[in-house]
Structure formats: C-alpha cells, structure tokens
Amino acid sequence: MTREEIESREDESMMDAPQINKPKPEEFFNVNYLRIYYGKRTLFPYSDIHKWLSYGHDGKHPGCDEYYFGRREFSFTLENDVYLRYKSFKNASSMEDAIRSHFPYKIDIGAVYSVDPDKRHAYSQTGSNVFTPVERELVFDIDITDYDDVRYCCSGADVCSKCWPLMTVAIKVIHTSLTEDFGFKHILWVFSGRRGVHCWVCDPKARRMTNEQRSAVAEYFRVYKGNENNARKVALMGYSLHPFLARSYVDYLKGFFEGELQATQSIFSTKDKYEKILAMISDEDIQSELRGKWENSARSSLSEEAISLVRWEQLKNTLQSKKHKAPTLRMCVEEIVFTFTYPRIDLEVSKQMNHLLKAPFCVHPKTGRVCVPIDPNNCDDFDPLAVPTLSQLIEEINSGGSRMDVDDDDDSDTSLLGKSIKFFRSSFLEPLLKSCKEEIESSYKTKIGKSKDSLSW
Amino acid sequence: MEVIRSQKRTPSNDTVSNPKIPLYLTAPQMEVRLEEFELFAVDRLRVLKGVSDGLARGRNPKEMDDLVDTLWKEHMRDPDASVMFNKDIISHFVLRLVYCRSDELKKWFLSMETALFRHRFRLQNFEAQRAIVGEFGLPYKAVTGAELEGLKERLGQVVRSLGQISPTVEAVYYKVPFEEVPDLVASRRVLIQKGYAFVAGSQLVSLVVTQFRSHISKALILTNRKWTTTIQEREKDRLTPIVEALSTSYLGPDYSQSTEYAEISLKDIDQVAKSSFPLCMRHLFEKVREDHHLKHGGRMQLGLFLKGVGLKLDDALAFWRAEFTKKVGSERFDKEYAYSIRHNYGKEGKRTDYTPYACQKIILSAPGAGDHHGCPYRHFSEDNLRAALGRMGLSSRGMEGVMDQVRNKHYQLACTMTFEAVYGTSCDAGINHPNQYFEESQKILKSKTPPAPV
C-alpha cells in the first residue's frame, strides 16, 4: 500500500469497513486491518482494559483515587520499530485517542508509578527516588522457544498441536500453585499471540509486592537450570520432592510425560533422542546397560510411541533397583520427567516492577492473531492455531455486518472476538472489580474512622 | 547522639534489659568522645571488611558463623559488657553517616550489616533468638493442635526435600505471610499454603534478617536526607572530614577506571583473550566468535569486563558489530544492540557508568537455555569444565586440585588455582573479580617479556 492510498482511505469513515480483496492465507496481518481493529469501538475492548487497570478507582466513591489510572505507564511500538515509552493517559478516552492516532503494532503495560510517567522529569528534581513504581501486577511469561531442547516437532518461532500441550501443562502447574500455595484469586492468562502465554496476577497483595518478593516467587517456580554447558539440567536434591513439586508431579507432569508426550514426541525412539536422556543419568554403568538394550533392538513392527514407552519402562525399572548407588540417582526418574515437562518461566520478566509486558487483546504482527485470554480451568481446549486472526475479524465484519456489538444482554453472541471478551469480563473483570470496590470501601471506612478518633481529645 | 570533646561518657538507658544483638532501631541518646567516634567506626569497619572478604571467597554459612565470631571478638570485644554494647551501637550509627552518602556505599553497607546480623543471630541460642524476634514486634503465632496435625505430612516432606532422611518435624512452626520470608520461599525451604509460609523455629533467622534489612534500608535513606540537609554543613570542621575519610579506605577497586596495564586494542583482542582472560570470559569470548551472537546476560558480563580491561567504546562497538552483523545484519545491529553497548559505557539513558561484575555477582547469576554467562566452575558440568580447563593448558594433576575445590563449592578458589597453574605462580589474595584476574595476568606476562630493543 502506498502512502497516498493509505491516506485516501483515512478519509472514508472508519466505521465502515472498506472493500478489500480477500486476503491471501499467509497475509493475516497488515496495517490497514490494524487500523480497523483499533478504529472500531467494538473490537479492541478499550473500556474493559480501562476498567481493569483502574482497579475500581472510577471516581464514583469518595475513597477513589481519580489519578490512579493516569499514573500507569504504557508503551507503544510503532510500525518502524519506533518505541515510545512512559506514555500515560488520564482516562479511557485519551488512551483511545492515543491508540487511534498511532496504531501501535504492540502495546505494553508497565507499572503504576508514584507520579504521572508523562511528567516524571518535572518531579525527579525535588529529591531522590520520587519517580518510582508503586504497584504492578505479578506477571509471568512462558515462551515455547525455551523448550527447544526437549521438543522435536518444531523449533524457534513455530508451534504446533504436538508441542503446545507443554504450555497447557505449564498453565496448570503454575495456576494451581498461585491459587493453592500463594492464595491469589485474580489471575488472568493470555495467549501471547504466537508461541507462549502470559500470566497477570492482579490481587492487591500481588500488585504491591517488592522486587525481592517477586524474585522469590519466580525462584520458587524455577527448577530447570540448564543450557548447553551442562547435561543434568534438573537436579532434584534431598530425599523427597518439596510438596509443591510433588503435587505438580503427581497431578500433572507424570501423566503428561507417560501419555501425551510419548505420543507426540517419542523421546526414546532414535539414538540421538535417547542419548540425550542417558546423559541425564549420572552413572556410566546404568547408561551402558540401557544403551546395550536399546542399540540392539531391531523392532520395526512397533510404532515410535510404543518403542518409547517400552524403553521408558525399562529405564524406570533399572533406576528403581539401582537408585541407592548414589545420591544423584535417587530422583533421576523424576528429574527426567521434570526436564521434559515442567514449566520454564522467563525469570527476568517477573522479577522487576518496571518490566513492561504486552497488553491482552493486542494483535501479534507476525501471525495476526489476537492475544486472547485463556481459561486456566479449560486450557486443554485451547488451540493456538484456532485463535482469531486480524484478517478473520475483518472478514467477519465484511460478511456479518452490524451485529458486532458485544453488550451484556446478548447471550447468543457468537462473534469471533466476542467470546473472548465475554470470558474476560465474566471470569476475570467482574470478580476483580467487585473485590476492588470492597477494598476501597473498607480502607476508606478505616481512614475516616481513624480521623474521627484523632479529633476526640 | 551527642559528640563532645572530653567529657565522661554516660551509659545508655537500654543496656539494662536487652538482647545481646541491638537492632539499631533508634539513635542512641548518649555522649561520645570524638576520638571514640572514629576509633569505634574503624573497628567495626574491620569487621565488615572481613565479612565482605569471607563472602567474596564463597565461604559457606557455617564458615561465615565462625568468621564473624572471630572478627567480632578480635575488634569489638571489651571486658565490660555495657561498654562493648555501646561500642556496637555507636559504631553502627557512625557508619550509617559514612555509608548513606551514595547508592553504591548504601548497597555495600546494607549487605554487610545484614550479613553480620545474620551470622551473629545464628550464633545465639534459641531462647535469645526468640527474644530478638520479639524485639521486632512481629505478630507471628505458633501453629498448634489440629492445624499442625493436618500439615505434618507435608512439613515432613519439606524436611526430607532438604536432605534430611527422616521426616522429623520440629516442635514449633510459625505461620507467616510468605512475603516476609522471601529467601525461604525462593529456595523452597518452607511449606506454603494459601499465602502463608510455615517457618520452623530453626528458620527464624530468615524472618528477622528480612525485617532487619528492610529497616536499615529505610534508615539509610533518612540518614542521607539529614546528612545532606543539615549535618554535613554543620559539622564541616569536626565530624565531616572524619566521615569522608572513613568511606574511601575500605572498598576494593571496582575496575570502573582501567589502569595503566589495561589498554587493549581490537587487533590484539584474540591473543589477549587466550593469554589473560579468566575462564568465564574466555568462554563467552569464544562463543561470540563461534556463534556470532550472545544473549543478554552474556553481553552484559563480557561487555562490562571488556570495558574494565580498557576497550574503548568505539572499539567495543566495532568488535560486537563485526561479530553480530554476520548473523543479524548491520541494520538490526544498530537498532537492537548498539544502544545497549553505549548504555553500558554511560552514554545513554540515565548515564550510569556501569561497573564490571565481580565474581560474587557472576557466581550468583542464573544462566538458562541458550546462555553462556555465569561462572563455569559453578555452572558447567564436570565434563565440560574439564574440557575447558584442558584447553586452558591445565595438566590432569592441576585439574584434580581445581575439581576438588569445585566439588566443595569453592568456585573462586578453583579459579585461583587455575590462575596459579596457568602462570606458575601463587596468588595469595585470591581471585574475586575477573578484571583482577586479567590485571594480575598481564602483570606477570609483561614482566616476563623482555623490553623491546631501542
């Protein structure tokens, strides 16, 4: 599209979808579609995002902080990789206006600061550390490229139905721990648009955590300590697993490893593959024993999956009888399972309050897919290859027409994006806002209660 | 705290009924002689420096307990218990003045005082420890009865996961919000349920250390404010000169300005890497040449090291560009990588001139998938480490000594032994900074080469 063509299109009303040729299958994303996506009020859910990030401070209660939303940092990445940081908006409509004038390729959400990010230079002169993050969700980022050493179907940016289940298992393990161990209640899982998932923990307690506390939670979740320089990337010491790891193993990891993973990855079926696993056993004799069994078996009648399962059983039996030989063998079986299945989070993303993370409902520029929420209680049903793309949304507008409004009374809404927005509202936003309002109310009552006392001499 | 010339000192009111370790919650209300002001501070500084040394050498917790005990007895002891107690308090507050004045000084002081507190606490008996917990006014209740019964099995699992073969659960557990014990959470040393951590009596140290650190951190900010607004000017003829002299004497070199030995140019860099880089940097350097890429952690660790050895910004840009453009192309290099190199040299953003990482920091880093930074003595598997040491020229006998240190987790001693084996000389100071390794190595090599003929 040339500049002139783009500009002439801008003259047309943004509310009518222009007549565009049917997109080629690979062309899921382009700038024009993006403009429509942000241009129409019924696609990108501006007011839901605003409500979420206001956490109940809507100005309707005397205890509200009307400047709260305005102290949140956003960043925009524009078409030519131009990066705009420290953007802030005093309300939903100025956020909308800014997005509609820039049409960013990516929108990131940062922390809530002590003062307006926009005006930080005005304040930083009056003393040390006046411009500083005050609140920020506890966030996690899981990217399937960090599993490249244990998936054989894809590598790099690709993802398919064989390796996506690694993300599903990761969601289950982390989500269970966040709710059961840490007691968090307001958790949003979002598809990153291509090959991973993000997690936003929005409880007030979580938002006020210090960097040190965030780091502690990230380390609690960390098990895999590997790169190409070490062979044994998961080292489980001690005589048993910590209850969190034990529960994850029993409830999710073991079953996944012995079932779906064998079917999709067949991790024992070739010499290259099984040598990698043998290298995790820190005893040469056991390695040789198993190698001997596997090298010489010429069973071409069995499927890859069946061969893998047989070899896994052999490995387990051998280790079971020999595990007392050395402390490093005690939990070798579990170590192998953890290496292949346990979540690998990006620690740096979680550790610092000022780290920016992509906003939900953005569109991924390389795939055109919308970053939609994932239901952690039904994550087995989530298919990253079935997520609506920008071109599909535009198609839908062109063909379906007017019924794109997602309003609360419409239970029969079936638009592509509507389902996701409804889910966002009903399972995340509404319970969150309810609890935020309760908190604002009770802390307000406490405050006026206190000041009443101070007046009585 | 009143500082006066030569009047007799009156003891503080709180020497009477307190626990052996003061918490430094409030400034003492007592008079101090000017000479003692400086003397007490210097003695405490010797203790803190000793703690810093111990940590840099990778001493384990038990070794640190013993070290602190020795240091304290050597420098801070007095036959009169109340005098000893007052010296403790006075010296701490004087050092607060000294070390509140910059971020780097604050960070060092906070780390060392916290470590000192931690190990002094560990040396106390359980009753004394509980008394100190009480002093902090922490509202933690012990878990008893049915609730404890219900947790017993999992508490036993935690105990076993920490290396104890029998799951004997302690008698007393405290139910504490998980936020209050971050280091126990991070190392999975506690059971956590619905936001609460169940802390064993023997783990109390974690609880108090977090509180202690948080308190001192806040106090330092307030002290700094007071210093810059009133004290510095008011005391310019009396205390200020003493305070300013005290801070410069005890921090080791940070290698942010390279010394006369350290200028290297781009054309020599491969040869210098082979001859003088410590293993961690050699590995990173080789990987850059091999893969024409490094992930962020590696770029930081190697980049700052090169800055410390005297590689100028322009040469650094040329070096990274030459390698990275083989993989990502010139435009992407300029867009994505040049900025952060300039950032490291203090030419962008908030323009902090970043200092090269010391061993302690490198050892504690966490290289993940695709990373090559970190300390090879800690992060490499035995086979890979042996191969790397072989490439450095170690004989199999020399290697055994090194591997022995590695097995005992004395990573810096392992590096020191490697240094000694490679250069055939002893290094008594011990390696605690990659740039130190480089400088020492260059000193030796330069002293061996004959001067160029005139």
Q: Residue B443 corresponds to which amino acid?
A: K
B392 belongs to a structural domain: yes
Residue B373 and residue B331 share a domain: yes
Residue B149 and residue B288 share a domain: no
- Contact assignment for A229 to B384 by CB distance below 8 Å: yes
pLDDT band at residue B315 under the 50/70/90 scheme:
confident
Residue B281 and residue B181 share a domain: no
A8 belongs to a structural domain: no
Residue B292 and residue B219 share a domain: no
Which of A220, A236, A355 best tests the B interface by mutation, with the highest count of B CBs <10 A? Answer: A220
Quick: pLDDT tens for A181-196.
999 999 999 999 999 9
Which of B104, B157, B210 best tests the A interface by mutation, with the highest count of A CBs <10 A? Answer: B157
Among chain A residues, the shortest Cα distance to B375 is held by A229
- Contact assignment for A182 to B178 by CB distance below 8 Å: yes
pLDDT for residue A17: 46
Instruction: Show the beta-strand stretches assigned E in A164-308.
Output: 187-191, 196-201
- Contact assignment for A243 to B154 by CB distance below 8 Å: yes
Q: Domain of A206: which CATH number?
A: 3.90.920.10
Residues 6+ apart with CB under 8 A from B441: B275, B276, B419, B422, B423
pLDDT for residue B250: 42
The percentage of residues in chain B with a pLDDT greater than 70, rounded to a whole number, is: 90
Residues of chain A with C-beta less than 8 angstroms from the C-beta of B383: 231
A2 belongs to a structural domain: no
What whole-number distance in Å separates Cα of residue B420 and Cα of residue B398?
9
A9 belongs to a structural domain: no
CA distance B114 to chain A (A): 15
A26 belongs to a structural domain: no
Residue B451 pLDDT exceeds 70: no
CA distance A220 to chain B (A): 5
Element at B158 (helix H, strand E)? helix B145-161
pLDDT for residue A110: 97
Quick: pLDDT tens for A427-443.
999 999 999 999 999 98
Which of A145, A236, A240 best tests the B interface by mutation, with the highest count of B CBs <10 A? Answer: A240
pLDDT band at residue B353 under the 50/70/90 scheme:
low
Residue A184 and residue A114 share a domain: yes
pLDDT for residue A255: 95
| Of B241 and B222, more confident | B222
Residue B213 pLDDT exceeds 70: yes
Q: Which residues of B are annotated binding-site positions for [4Fe-4S] cluster?
A: 280, 359, 375, 415
What whole-number distance in Å separates Cα of residue A162 and Cα of residue A266?
11
Residue B430 and residue B381 share a domain: yes
Quick: pLDDT tens for B251-260.
445 555 554 4
pLDDT band at residue A457 under the 50/70/90 scheme:
very low
Residue A369 and residue A256 share a domain: no
Least Cα distance to B138 among B21, B20, B23 occurs for: B23
Residue A375 φ/ψ, nearest 5 degrees: -85, 110
Mean pLDDT of the region A400-426: 70
What whole-number distance in Å separates Cα of residue B184 and Cα of residue A216?
8
Least Cα distance to B433 among B357, B341, B370 occurs for: B357
Mean pLDDT of the region A158-172: 95
Instruction: Show the beta-strand stretches assigned E in B93-224.
Output: 141-142, 173-177, 191-193, 196-200
Q: Which of A290, A317, A341 is at the close of a domain?
A: A341
A455 belongs to a structural domain: no
Alpha-carbon separation of residue B268 from A34, A232, A356, B273 (angstroms): 51, 37, 40, 9
**Which residue range(s) make up the domain with B159?**
135-205
Q: What are the structure tokens assigned to B13, written together?
A: 């009111």
Residue B61 and residue B119 share a domain: yes
Residue B150 and residue B90 share a domain: no
> How are strands ordered across the β-sheet holding B173-177?
B141-142, B173-177, B196-200, B191-193
What whole-number distance in Å separates Cα of residue B360 and Cα of residue A334?
31
pLDDT band at residue B452 under the 50/70/90 scheme:
low
What whole-number distance in Å separates Cα of residue A16 and Cα of residue A32?
13
Residue A142 and residue A91 share a domain: yes
- Contact assignment for A230 to B165 by CB distance below 8 Å: no
Q: In three state form, how does the secondary structure of B400-413 look?
A: HHHHHHHHCCCHHH
- Contact assignment for B194 to A181 by CB distance below 8 Å: yes
A378 belongs to a structural domain: yes
Indicate the residue of A148, A184, A242 with minimum beta-carbon distance to B158: A242
Quick: pLDDT tens for A82-105.
999 999 999 999 999 999 999 999
- Contact assignment for A245 to B163 by CB distance below 8 Å: no
Quick: pLDDT tens for A230-255.
777 888 888 899 999 999 999 999 99
Q: Which residues of B are annotated binding-site positions?
A: 280, 359, 375, 415
Element at B116 (helix H, strand E)? helix B103-122
pLDDT for residue A299: 60
B256 belongs to a structural domain: no
Indicate the residue of B158, B188, B376 with minimum beta-carbon distance to A220: B188
Residue B238 and residue B118 share a domain: yes
| Of B408 and A93, more confident | A93
Among chain B residues, the shortest Cα distance to A215 is held by B186
A325 belongs to a structural domain: yes
Residues of chain A with C-beta less than 8 angstroms from the C-beta of B187: 219
Residues 6+ apart with CB under 8 A from B431: B278, B359, B412, B415, B416, B419, B437
Indicate the residue of B191, B370, B380 with minimum beta-carbon distance to A243: B191
Residue A307 pLDDT exceeds 90: no
Residues of chain B with C-beta less than 8 angstroms from the C-beta of A239: 160-161, 163-165
Residue B187 and residue B235 share a domain: no
- The pLDDT mean for chain B works out to 84
Residue A398 and residue A262 share a domain: no
- Contact assignment for A183 to B195 by CB distance below 8 Å: yes
What whole-number distance in Å separates Cα of residue A159 and Cα of residue A367?
11
- Contact assignment for A220 to B376 by CB distance below 8 Å: no
- Contact assignment for B380 to A229 by CB distance below 8 Å: yes
Residue B293 pLDDT exceeds 60: yes
pLDDT for residue B446: 83
- Contact assignment for A239 to B161 by CB distance below 8 Å: yes
What whole-number distance in Å separates Cα of residue B190 and Cα of residue B188?
6
- Contact assignment for A245 to B188 by CB distance below 8 Å: yes
Residue B361 pLDDT exceeds 50: yes
Among chain A residues, the shortest Cα distance to B371 is held by A227
The percentage of residues in chain B with a pLDDT greater than 90, rounded to a whole number, is: 35
Strand partners, A76: A84, A107
Residue B396 and residue B415 share a domain: yes
The yes/no answer to whether this complex scores an ipTM above 0.85 is yes
Cβ-contact A333, A316 below 8 angstroms: yes
**Which residue range(s) make up the domain with A288?**
243-341
B260 belongs to a structural domain: no
Residue A356 and residue A326 share a domain: no
Residue A362 and residue A337 share a domain: no
Residues of chain A with C-beta less than 8 angstroms from the C-beta of B406: none
Measured from the Cβ of residue B348, the count of other Cβ atoms closer than 10 Å reads 14
Residue A301 and residue A333 share a domain: yes
Residues of chain B with C-beta less than 8 angstroms from the C-beta of A216: 178, 182-183, 185-186
Mean pLDDT lowest for which of A217-221, A331-335, A450-454, B81-85?
A450-454
Among chain B residues, the shortest Cα distance to A213 is held by B182
Residue A4 pLDDT exceeds 50: no
Cβ-contact B176, B189 below 8 angstroms: no
Strand partners, A190: A198, A373
pLDDT band at residue A125 under the 50/70/90 scheme:
low
Residue A54 and residue A171 share a domain: yes
Residues of chain A with C-beta less than 8 angstroms from the C-beta of B183: 216
Paired sense of beta strands A72-77 and A83-87, if any: antiparallel
| Of A457 and A62, more confident | A62
Q: Does residue A224 sit in helix, strand or coil?
A: coil
Say what the alpha-carbon torsion angle B391, B393, B398, B403 is, to the nearest 10 degrees.
-20
What whole-number distance in Å separates Cα of residue A287 and Cα of residue A207?
48
Give how many domains chain B has, as a whole number: 3
Residues 6+ apart with CB under 8 A from B283: B372, B376, B388
Residue A312 and residue A350 share a domain: no
Give how many domains chain A has, as a whole number: 2
Q: What is the DSSP letter of A369?
A: B
B453 belongs to a structural domain: no
What whole-number distance in Å separates Cα of residue B314 and Cα of residue A274?
47
Residues of chain B with C-beta less than 8 angstroms from the C-beta of A217: 185
Catalytic residues of A: 73, 141, 143
B120 belongs to a structural domain: yes
pLDDT for residue A250: 97
Residue A52 and residue A189 share a domain: yes
Residues of chain B with C-beta less than 8 angstroms from the C-beta of A347: 366, 368
CA distance A94 to chain B (A): 27
Among chain B residues, the shortest Cα distance to A245 is held by B188
- Contact assignment for B161 to A241 by CB distance below 8 Å: yes
Strand partners, A389: A369
B130 belongs to a structural domain: no
Q: What are the structure tokens assigned to B279, written together?
A: 């293993």
A305 belongs to a structural domain: yes
Cβ-contact A397, A17 below 8 angstroms: yes
Residue B441 and residue B353 share a domain: yes
Residues 6+ apart with CB under 8 A from A441: A61, A63
Mean pLDDT lowest for which of A125-134, A312-321, B265-274, B307-316?
A125-134
pLDDT for residue B12: 41
Give residue ranges of B with CB < 8 Å to any A CB: 154, 157-158, 160-165, 167, 178-179, 182-183, 185-188, 191-196, 221, 224-225, 335, 366-372, 376, 379-381, 383-384
Instruction: Show the beta-strand stretches assigned E in A114-214.
Output: 133-135, 138-143, 187-191, 196-201
Residue A312 and residue A398 share a domain: no
Residues of chain A with C-beta less than 8 angstroms from the C-beta of B185: 216-217, 219-220
Residue B97 and residue B151 share a domain: no
Residue B237 pLDDT exceeds 90: no
Among chain A residues, the shortest Cα distance to B165 is held by A239
Residue B380 pLDDT exceeds 90: yes
Alpha-carbon separation of residue B292 from B195, B303, B327 (angstroms): 45, 14, 6
| Of A189 and B79, more confident | A189
Size of interface A-B (CB pairs under 8 A): 111
Residue A3 pLDDT exceeds 60: no
Alpha-carbon separation of residue B444 from A123, B413, B438 (angstroms): 52, 19, 10
What whole-number distance in Å separates Cα of residue A116 and Cα of residue A88?
7
Among chain B residues, the shortest Cα distance to A208 is held by B179
Residue A302 and residue A257 share a domain: yes
Indicate the residue of A205, A213, A242 with minimum beta-carbon distance to B188: A242
Tally helices (H) and strands (E) across chain A. 19, 9
